[in-house]
Chain A
Amino acid sequence: MTASFTVDPAPTRLTLAFHGRLDSANCAGLHDAVLAQLGAVSAGQVLRFDLAGSDFVASAFLRLCILAARTVGADRFEVADPAPLVREVFTMAGLDRHLTIVDTATQ
């Protein structure tokens, strides 16, 4: 059960699309690679963490989201398409009040 992410750069958005279980062990393996991408976000871009490919996040991933949002600015960071149980984790942690969570199907 591994996890990975792909990078999709677009003119106004840099998307990191995550796949697999984002549990404590897998997040530790992804941590440095994700942080390395934060420097690639240009002034005109939003950073999006696309969670459509993951059905499990642990608090280690929430910490990555906070670090990312603080680095690029909360108004330029968004979490996209979390599964219901994943969204529930963001809500339980109170992060739904501080992070933009979008459902692209309704946009």
Chain B
Amino acid sequence: MIPPEGRWTVPADLAALALLQEGAGDWLRQAGVDEAAAARVLLALDELAANIVHHAGLGADARFEVALEREAGELRVRISDAGRPFDPTAATSPPPAATLDEVSVGGFGLGLVRRLARSMDYRREDGRNHLRLRFAAGPARAAD
């Protein structure tokens, strides 16, 4: 049976991201999501959550919200934070680098998320960033 929506309230610090990865990984296994599809969702989640921790300007006690649900062959992810306005769908990727020296050390995370997700929608509402992403769920496997 596919579990109900998974929801997490995550402290905005790096140490808490490991717990989010663990919880979301467990939920994806219970939802019967195959390993490759789950890994792609977890990578996007890690990149976006780390972005909030590093760049949203949240206080030490702040938290952000994450929700996962599986529906109609796809996985939907919602992330909400009260940090400074940031629309990742509008962020531009650096042009391809010709040499290693030209490779930007930063900015990989959002580029990966764009390639991993089927779609990404952003809105700013009630002083919060709301991001919704859709991923392919991959072929079904037996749930744990």
User: Chain A interface (Cβ within 8 Å of chain B)?
Assistant: 1, 21, 23-26, 28, 55-56, 58-60, 62-63, 66-67, 69-70, 74, 85, 89, 92-95, 98-99
Contacts and interface: CB of A to CB of B under 8 A. Distances in A.
Given A1-B18, A23-B46, A24-B17, A95 B39 contact: no
Contacts of A1: 18, 21-22
A63 B105 contact: yes
A32 B51 CA distance: 20
Interface of B: 14-15, 17-18, 21-22, 36, 39-40, 42-43, 46-47, 49-50, 53, 96-97, 99-101, 103, 105-106, 108-109, 111-112, 115-116
Contacts, number: 70
A56 B111 contact: no
Residues of B contacting A: mostly: helix
Contact of B17 (A23, A56, A69, A74): A23
A94 B100 contact: no
A59 B109 contact: yes
Contacts of A56: 39, 42-43
Nearest to B40: A85
30 contacts: A1-B22, A21-B21, A23-B18, A23-B21, A24-B49, A24-B53, A25-B14, A25-B15, A25-B21, A25-B50, A56-B42, A58-B43, A58-B50, A58-B109, A63-B105, A67-B105, A69-B100, A85-B39, A85-B40, A89-B43, A89-B112, A92-B111, A92-B116, A93-B108, A94-B96, A94-B103, A95-B103, A98-B99, A98-B100, A98-B103
Residues of A contacting B: mostly: helix
A56 B43 CA distance: 8
Contacts of B108: 59, 62-63, 93
A59 B112 contact: yes
Contact of A70 (B46, B100, B106, B109): B100
Nearest to B107: A59
A89 B39 CA distance: 11
Nearest to B36: A85
A99 B21 contact: no
A21 B106 CA distance: 20
